[in-house]
Every structure is written in structure tokens, then in C-alpha cells.
Amino acid sequence: MRRLLQPVVFLACLASLAWAGPARAASLVPVGNFDQPIFLSSDPSDPDRLLIAEREGRVILAKGSERRLFADLTTWVHCCEPSGEFDGERGLLSIAPAPDFALSGRFYAAYTGNAVAGGDVGDLHVDAFTPVALGGPPLRQRVLTIAHSSRASHNGGQLQFGPDGYLYLSTGDGGGVGDPDDNARNLASLLGKILRIDPQPGSTPSYLVPPDNPFVDTTGAADEIWAYGLRNPWRFSFDRRGGQMAIADVGQGEREEVDLGAAGANYGWDCREGFLAYTGLNAPASCPEDGFTDPVFDYPHDDPGGGAAHGCSITGGYVVRDFGLPDLYGRYLYADFCESELRSLLLPSGPGGLAVDDRSEGLTVADPVSFGEDSCGRIYVVSQGGPVFRLEGDLGPGCHTAPPPTALPEPAVARPAVPPLVLLLARRGRGHVVRLLVRLLPCGENGGETVWLNRNGRLFRHKRLNRNCVARFRVRVGRRARFRAFFEDQRSQVRKIAFAKPRP
């Protein structure tokens, strides 16, 4: 920020439903106090085992009243030296538990490194860490390093595994007013971007590039780039229902913005700031008139009055999918670091739309540096000063992954009484291409819903069904592969594909 100092259970999301009966607004329930907390996640297999990242480089495990040091990364993290105005932006930035965390304990961390980490002081690092028995520094396995030593600000640093099983990383533009190094729109630079990789810790290379990344075949472009033209995307998130990405990009001096993630999108910085043309210091001499992906929402730094959003540095949150918070369900929750007010809005369902119904939630948290989401969808707010809060409604702190059955209107669910059958058909195309067709029977009202494709036991891709409840995938297969399709909690039979070496 600018001024701060799989498994299959994921697929079993229910449709958004309204339910009758009074529901009080969410309240903030203290989880605990920590030392400069910066991010929160949880064990994917146990949402009550919270992982709190502290800026100096410690990861704390909190479960109930238990507090213990889970991993100490301070050996490698550069943080908290008042060497410049924005040095407070350096440190441990975020963490992402590995999909096999329950067995391995491995997690990924994004941080600014010191000399021990390798490279120059302040470079961005993404590494895998595994705690070892009997304490001591965890096992470190390098994954990715990005040069970022010249300025301490605009690091970005959000890590999250997407619904496709790949690891996404946000990076800032490298710092300075108006992107003086012209990184954000430069496809040869990894700064000012959303990156997408397939980490392979302990291997050579340490990560693979997904073959469908949008610039893999673009001359002069970095293969890791998924989207670009961002100033400082401090936080982004994936909607647990449908997988849509929301990116909160911290602005320069006029606007803060929220973008919908899209492969290959150019969000326009430093030609655009929010919906406006950027005309400040180091503004480009000329900019194209089109080709930019507009935000779905922005707000000004100056107070426009009337209770509208304003502030200086957006802290992006999550689309709420906790059925214990009915008044917030389906709404994108966010805050501003300078204003401390929690707000929410309704994101559009796809590109070209705008967010609507922005409102205050009547809750404040001093210096909200981050939001967090545990593995059952409960939402947390992290204060830079130390407190961490969980949002709760009338149903209390439990894991509410389904609406209360006694409160649903009649009819409760507009779906066929018999769960649909998921069919997965495969046909070989030319070369090593496989054409996969997913069909739901009966179709009912499932057209437009999302189906997921699993490849060799990992989430791979997703698509919306057409009105006939059919989705088609085209996949390149170089060796034996096993595919399965999922719709909510229904799954297809496995389809095994094997290719021999092509004949000479």
C-alpha cells in the first residue's frame, strides 16, 4: 500500500439465496492482538487454525486461545528500518498455504528480502517454506525473485492460489510518483502486474508458466504476466462462488479503484487513474485513446459528502460467502486505510458492467491494513496496530457454508429434486489436442452456472455452461492425463487420455 507504514470442497458452493427473518448487521469480534499483523489465512483443512503474518517476518498460528510461532522468516525479510518515507511498505507482505498444507505444512510467502535472501536489499521474493521439527528456521525453497531495490514503495505482494490451482501474485509498479520507470504498461517488466505461475519448489526450474497465460506467445513480453497496467495492487481476492477475481489498486493522488481480473487486461496505469486520465508528475507524453480495461468502481480522495466513499489508500477485501452474514452475503467488502470505515458494494457479474450500491457498513477498524478469509469463508479484518477481528452475525462464530434451513423461503431451492448427472466426453483433435465436453443431465435451470475441470487431481479450468448446460474445453496433452468435471458437489467419471510420441 501507499501509506501503511482444493480441493473439491471449494467447488461445493451454493447459489446465492435470500432468507426470511430479521438479521442484525455484522459485528466485529476480537480474535487477538499481534505485532504489526499484515495478512491472515488459515489451514485449508481446518478453518479454526488461523495463520497470521506479521510484517517483520513471523507467521503466528492461532487456534482458540492457543498462540504459537509457526514459522520465523526474519532471517530473510527486510523490514521496518526508517530509511525513507515509505520504508514501512517493506517486510512480509502475505502468505498462501499450499494445497497440500495439511500434510506438508508448506506455505508460500511474498516478502521484501535482505542480503541473506539473495539479490539486492528490497527485492521482491516469492519462496516456499516448510517448518521443521524442534523449531529453528523453516526450510526455504526459492521460487521467484523480482528486482525492486531502488524504491521501497509499491511492492504489491498479495499471494493466492486461484480456482485453477495456479499461484497468483500482485506486484506494484516499483515506486515513485507517476511510475517514473514506466513499468506498469511495459510487458517486459514484472512490476505493476498480476502474475500467474505454477510453483515447483525444490525443482529446476522453480516454477512453470501456465501454457494459457495470455502473453506466452508475445515477443518481448514476460510469460508470467496475467494482467498489467496497475499501480499498487496491494490486495486481490477470488470469489469463492464462481472464482471471479477482484483487484483493489491503490491510486496516486486522485482516485482509488476496484477492477475485475481478466487474462490479458491492461488497466491503464499510468495513463489512467480510476476512470480519469492521469495528468500528474511523470505522466506519459501521450497515451492511446482505447485498449484499457476500465475499473468497475472508483472513489475520490476528497470527501464528496453525503456519506460517499473517499480516502487515500484502498484496502481490498472479499466477496462475502459466509451464510452467517446474510446482510453482507454476495457483497464485496473493502476499506480505506486513511478512513477506517468498512464499506461494501455489489460487483458486476462480468466485464463491461459497473459496481452498484456502495454503502457504509457502520463499522470502523483503525488502520485497516488487510482483510482475510479462512477456509470456510469467514471474513477477518486486520489492523496495522495489532488487533485482528472476525465479522460475525446472529449465528455466531461457526462455519456457515449453507443457509439456515429453517429460514429459507418456500420453495427453498429452484433446482431439480434429483442432482444432475455430470457427463464428461473426450475426443482427440489434431496433434496432442483433446476436446472435452461437459454436459449436465437434466439441465433444469443450470444454464449459466460454472463447471470445473480437474486435471491429474488438480483444479485446472472453469467455464460457464451454455443454455443447454454444455461447456467445451480444448486442452493440449503431452503425456498421460486424467480429467474429471465437477458441478457443485456432483462429479463425472474420470477420463484417461494418453498420447504416444508422434510418428516421424
| pLDDT tens figures, 140-170 | 999 999 999 999 999 999 999 999 999 999 9
pLDDT at res. 413: 37
CA 117 – CA 122 distance, rounded (Å) = 10
Where residue 328 falls (left for φ over 0; alpha for ψ -120 to 50; beta otherwise) is: alpha
Count CA atoms within 13 Å of residue 338 on its CB side: 16
The residue ranges of DSSP E strands in 286-396, in sequence order, are: 297-300, 314-315, 332-336, 341-346, 356-364, 368-373, 379-383, 387-392
Instruction: Yes or no: say if 34 and 380 are a contact pair by the CB < 8 Å rule.
Output: no
Q: What pTM did the predictor assign? A: 0.78
Please give the angle made by the CA atoms of 7, 9 and 12, to the nearest 5 degrees. 130
Cis peptide before 409 (omega within 30 of 0): no
pLDDT at res. 414: 38
Place of cell 477485501: 317
Instruction: Yes or no: say if 447 and 438 are a contact pair by the CB < 8 Å rule.
Output: no
Instruction: Yes or no: say if 432 and 463 are a contact pair by the CB < 8 Å rule.
Output: no
pLDDT at res. 502: 44
Tens of pLDDT along the chain (504 residues)?
Answer: 444 443 333 223 323 333 333 344 699 999 999 999 999 999 999 999 999 999 999 999 999 999 999 999 999 999 986 554 456 799 999 999 999 999 899 999 999 999 999 999 999 999 999 998 767 789 999 999 999 999 999 999 999 999 999 999 999 999 999 999 999 999 999 999 999 999 999 899 999 999 999 999 999 999 999 999 999 999 999 999 989 999 999 999 999 999 999 999 999 999 999 999 999 999 999 999 889 999 999 999 999 999 999 999 999 999 999 999 999 999 999 999 999 999 999 999 877 899 999 999 999 999 999 999 999 999 999 999 999 999 999 888 999 887 766 544 444 333 334 567 888 888 877 778 888 888 887 777 788 888 888 888 777 788 888 887 889 988 888 778 888 888 876 777 777 777 654 443
H or E element in which residue 298 lies: strand 297-300
Structural domains for the chain: 8-392 (2.120.10.30), 421-497 (2.60.40.10)
CA 246 – CA 10 distance, rounded (Å) = 18
Where residue 154 falls (left for φ over 0; alpha for ψ -120 to 50; beta otherwise) is: left
pLDDT at res. 300: 97
pLDDT at res. 4: 43
Helices vs. strands in the chain: H and E counts, helices first: 1, 35
Torsion of the alpha carbons at 452, 454, 460 and 463, rounded to the nearest 10 = -20
- Count the neighbouring beta carbons within 10 Å of the beta carbon of residue 6: 17
Cβ neighbours of residue 357 closer than 8 Å, sequence gap 6 or more: 331, 345, 346
Instruction: Yes or no: say if 489 and 472 are a contact pair by the CB < 8 Å rule.
Output: no
- Count the neighbouring beta carbons within 10 Å of the beta carbon of residue 105: 18
Nearest CA among 485, 481, 466 for reference residue 422: 485
pLDDT at res. 210: 96
The residue ranges of DSSP E strands in 251-294, in sequence order, are: 255-260, 272-273, 276-277
Count CA atoms within 13 Å of residue 148 on its CB side: 35
pLDDT at res. 364: 97
pLDDT at res. 18: 34
pLDDT at res. 140: 97
Sign of CA dihedral 485, 491, 492, 494: positive
Nearest CA among 167, 122, 166 for reference residue 146: 122
pLDDT at res. 405: 63
pLDDT at res. 455: 84
